[in-house]
Structure 1
Amino acid sequence: MFSSLLSVVTSALLATTAVAWPNVPSAPFVQNATVFSPPANWPNKGGSYARSVLLNQNCEKGNPTILATAAYQPPDGQYLIIHKSTDYGATWSELSKAYFNGNASLSGGIILQPFLYELAQPFGKYQPGTILLSANYIPGDFSSTNIQLYASTDKGASWEYVSTVAAGGPPNTDNGAPCVWEPFLLAYSNQLNVYYSDQRDPAYGQKLAHQSSGDLVSWGDVINDVAYANYTQRPGMITVAQIGNGKWMCSYEVGLWTDPVTGSNDSAPYATHYKIADSPLDFGSVGDSILKTPEGISSAGPYTVWTPAGGPSGTIVVSDSSYDQFFLNTQNGAPGAWKNVSSQGHGVGYTRSLSVLPGNGGKTVQVLNGGMYGSNMTLFSAGDFIVPGPAGHGPGASGFPACNHNSGGYGHGWGWGSPWW
């Protein structure tokens, strides 16, 4: 099935070869630019969970627009601040506030774990170029957890409620508490798939699952992606990326994990594990590996991207929430091929996010750091990491790919989301 899908995608790519790939201007290197600093009059200035999206679904030319947000607790309402950059993250301005007021029965509270995504194909009434924003809304009485979906049809200037993907009980990280956490969005096979951490299944302390929709309103059954026979283990915080051989990789932390060699988890209390499958909908049917280098084990809140730079198979880049450095793999995720490298000065953050910028041979990975969860004061920053090794080749490595809204939803990012074969 995958080989036939690959054939379809390859044919679609070949059909566009007559269209020139538009180059974007060279990106300046951004060290650590401030996206947002909480105002002095905010009682709670802590933040975390930075996320961004690079807009590229409306045949953009010139400098791309990047939107970003992070989880803060503003004193004047329940909203996420959407920030905008048109100079590759060197400077930022406030674009809008996304109020989570779509369900009138919920009020007050906090918004956690945001995620931004741009549609490359239509879903229901929402056309390519629509920006999606998902997060976990916890009302003021702490009675529930709610993974909600909002949409912007004007590039992030305004937002409307679309649907609630999943809802659970009060926020509680103890096993047995039936709540939901941490959405991640990915369009694939003409569906929008929302992955999240799920404590509602009594068979598991926590599992990773996804639900799918063709119209963003009605959601399908809960499909398990990572569910351990050991009830006490807690896989969480999943991210997904397509890698250089066309397969898909998900990474996630495993709480209450025990190292089979040492019998403890002192070195990696939330050890990063990962799976590689032919489809991002098939993670439940494959085994996992631990992300380990000679220096140690990655731990907590991993975020994964793939870039064509760094070698014939490109480079998988993984950030986590415990270390400043990144974890790189140039061999399509082979378990023995991971290495540690310096993040080039981006500091530790609670689930830093990564995105590959167009141009520069795919060597520029932008790092968004919203700070550490529970900190009294955090600065939301953006900066670049340069992937070691040679530049990559293909559409995204030199600029945006040709505009194509009939890609069938095989992936996301730079139109098709497929590796640049």
Structure 2
Amino acid sequence: MNKPTLGDGATRRDYLRVLGLLGAASVGATGSVHAATTDPGTKHSGETLYAPPEGAPAPGAMYPRVERLEHAPGGNDTLLATFEYYPSMSGGAEPFFPVYRSTNGGQTWSKFSEIYDQSGKDWGMRYQPTLYELPEEVGPWPAGTVLAAGNSIPILDDPSDIPEGEIGTLGDSSIDLYASTDHGESWEYVSTVVTSGTAVPQAGNSPVWEPELQLDADGHLICYFADERQGSDDDYNQLVGLKASADGGQTWGDEQFVAAVPNGVDRPGMPVVVELPDGTYMIAYEVVGSNEVNGEIRVKTSPNGRDWGDPTDLGQQVVTADGRRLVNGPYVTWTPRGGPDGTVLVSGKQLVDENHQPAEGNGEVVLANTNLDGSGDWTAVEAPLSFRTSGELGGRIFVGWTTPILPSPNGKHLLEMTSTAMNETLTQIQYAERPLKLNKL
């Protein structure tokens, strides 16, 4: 089947709409695309979006997110990016999420705005920011409104007692929602999705983590997140849950479980969701804990973005025919190129072999699959960004945390952004945008 051709100015939603009209096309049994050969001469260490100053608290900067704006002036070459930023808390500095903007498809960036805590708690915006542009009117928000969510966490120490270059003792966790009706230039507080316990992942605490925003098939705003609140009652160590809002995030319904295993060990987390051209949704998340999962990235699909089946079913493993698999820090996206229904792309913190040792292509590839349900073997294809991973750096865990990937609207190029080692203690945010080498089946 030949795919319809759309111009370079077409949006991702245009591709989804046209491909959706084609129905579910048959694809190869393995679901893989032909692997591109990684040419050492094309490896790209990337450009620097942000480098923390010397003496900044470790890790410096990490957990980037990037979003293409399809309703901003200048067309869909406008992108926004944000990340965790670590100021010293000595003297009472308040953490915030910096927002950077690119107007040329991610080739260059400049500082654009800042998201501060406006909830009245005065905790500061500290961990795990995410961005999402509304593709249609939702509640009070017109199409093109940019939403942001992140973890607001207080410091319990007196600022005068915090040494220079330190963060301090963390308090409770709160996932808060913000909105921008001017394409990311200014922000207003909307609501708190969920608030919970101390933001330290250890027994006895009950934090919430890692929000992700998406519209479901009925136009409800969904916030997916990792949840440690259920451990004492139901023996869940950590799970992935969701809350839905019918009014654009002003109020939220009860939590539903997406991936949850009541064995006291397994920890599904770091969810990322993408809408696919057949109208289904795919979620990617890591599962750390037992030796059976060991940080591996899994994917599940939903017919509507809200119903994900049995929560104890952890879904498909993202693994190649020769046993290489991605672990930790997942990201999932879709490109219209590569197969009759396009291609699902997944990135992660590290690529390891069956023995969980760094594998060929570690820090240099993403994994691709033309089966929209994630079944079959995945294929390694060259990534835009080449970086030394935590396994190669003696366990620098904040490197590659996380690795968002964003195809160009026509699928010909791919932007990747992640945290890379700046020196022995700090990480910086780097990015690269390169041609996406997918060969059609």
- Does structure 1 residue 389 correspond to structure 2 residue 438? yes
Structure 2: which amino acid aligns with 1:311?
G
Q: Structure 1 residue 124: deviation in Å?
A: 2.9
8 Å contact from structure 1 (residues 253, 302) kept in 2: yes
Pick from 85, 88, 97 the counterpart of residue 72 of structure 1: 85
- Does structure 1 residue 273 correspond to structure 2 residue 298? yes
- Does structure 1 residue 212 correspond to structure 2 residue 228? no
User: Structure 1 residues 90, 388: closer, same or farther in 2, change over 3 A?
Assistant: closer
Compute the TM-score of the two structures, normalised by the length of structure 2. 0.74
Following superposition of structure 1 onto structure 2, how do residues 318-397 of structure 1 map, counting pairs within 5 Å?
Answer: 318-323=346-351, 324=363, 325-347=365-387, 348=389, 349-359=400-410, 362-371=411-420, 376-390=425-439
After superposition, the CA RMSD in angstroms is: 2.8
Structure 2: which amino acid aligns with 1:72?
Y
User: Structure 1 residues 255, 126: closer, same or farther in 2, change over 3 A?
Assistant: same
Q: Structure 1 residue 93: deviation in Å?
A: 0.9
User: Structure 1 residues 391, 32: closer, same or farther in 2, change over 3 A?
Assistant: farther
User: Structure 1 residues 71, 330: closer, same or farther in 2, change over 3 A?
Assistant: same
Aligned partners of 1:373, 1:179: CA distance in 2, in Å?
29
Greater CA deviation, 129-138 or 166-175?
A: 166-175
- SS of 2:376's equivalent? helix
User: Structure 1 residues 31, 386: closer, same or farther in 2, change over 3 A?
Assistant: farther
Structure 1: which amino acid aligns with 2:47?
A
What corresponds to 1:177 in structure 2?
205
What corresponds to 1:115 in structure 2?
130
Residues 183-208 of structure 1 show CA distances to partners (whole Å, capped at 9, x for unaligned) of 00001212110000011113111111
Pick from 344, 351, 367 the counterpart of residue 316 of structure 1: 344
What corresponds to 2:66 in structure 1?
52
Pick from 110, 116, 123 the counterpart of residue 93 of structure 1: 110
Compute the TM-score of the two structures, normalised by the length of structure 1. 0.77
What corresponds to 2:11 in structure 1?
none
8 Å contact from structure 1 (residues 331, 337) kept in 2: no
Aligned partners of 1:373, 1:183: CA distance in 2, in Å?
27
Q: Structure 1 residue 274: deviation in Å?
A: 1.5
Q: Structure 1 residue 383: deviation in Å?
A: 1.2
Q: Structure 1 residue 136: deviation in Å?
A: 0.8
8 Å contact from structure 1 (residues 363, 391) kept in 2: no
- Does structure 1 residue 230 correspond to structure 2 residue 263? yes
What corresponds to 2:155 in structure 1?
140
Q: Structure 1 residue 375: deviation in Å?
A: 6.9
Greater CA deviation, 209-218 or 244-253?
A: 244-253
Aligned partners of 2:419, 2:81: CA distance in 1, in Å?
10
Structure 2: which amino acid aligns with 1:34?
T
Structure 2: which amino acid aligns with 1:308?
P
What corresponds to 1:405 in structure 2?
none
Structure 1: which amino acid aligns with 2:115?
A
What corresponds to 2:98 in structure 1?
81
Q: Structure 1 residue 385: deviation in Å?
A: 4.4
User: Structure 1 residues 292, 43: closer, same or farther in 2, change over 3 A?
Assistant: closer
User: Structure 1 residues 331, 370: closer, same or farther in 2, change over 3 A?
Assistant: same
- SS of 1:379's equivalent? strand
Structure 1: which amino acid aligns with 2:383?
S
Structure 1: which amino acid aligns with 2:108?
T
Q: Unpaired runs of 5+ in structure 1?
A: 1-8, 15-29, 260-264, 393-421
Aligned partners of 1:10, 1:54: CA distance in 2, in Å?
17
Q: Structure 1 residue 40: deviation in Å?
A: 4.3
What corresponds to 2:190 in structure 1?
162
- Does structure 1 residue 198 correspond to structure 2 residue 230? no
What corresponds to 1:407 in structure 2?
none
8 Å contact from structure 1 (residues 175, 199) kept in 2: no
- SS of 2:297's equivalent? strand
Q: Structure 1 residue 35: deviation in Å?
A: 1.5
Structure 2: which amino acid aligns with 1:96?
S
Structure 2: which amino acid aligns with 1:237?
M
Aligned partners of 1:374, 1:156: CA distance in 2, in Å?
31
What corresponds to 2:6 in structure 1?
none
Q: Structure 1 residue 89: deviation in Å?
A: 1.5
Pick from 150, 161, 176 the counterpart of residue 178 of structure 2: 150
Structure 1: which amino acid aligns with 2:133?
E
- SS of 1:91's equivalent? coil
8 Å contact from structure 1 (residues 147, 165) kept in 2: yes
Structure 1: which amino acid aligns with 2:414?
V
Residues 47-103 of structure 1 show CA distances to partners (whole Å, capped at 9, x for unaligned) of 111101111135x55562111111011244221111111112221111111112322
What corresponds to 1:283 in structure 2?
308
8 Å contact from structure 1 (residues 34, 92) kept in 2: no
Aligned partners of 2:382, 2:67: CA distance in 1, in Å?
24
Residues 158-216 of structure 1 show CA distances to partners (whole Å, capped at 9, x for unaligned) of 11111110111001223553210000000121211000001111311111110011221
Identical-pair percentage: 32
What corresponds to 1:402 in structure 2?
none
- SS of 1:292's equivalent? coil
Structure 1: which amino acid aligns with 2:289?
L
Structure 2: which amino acid aligns with 1:56?
E
Greater CA deviation, 272-281 or 38-47?
A: 38-47
Q: Structure 1 residue 273: deviation in Å?
A: 1.4
- SS of 2:198's equivalent? coil
8 Å contact from structure 1 (residues 47, 375) kept in 2: no
8 Å contact from structure 2 (residues 239, 268) kept in 1: yes
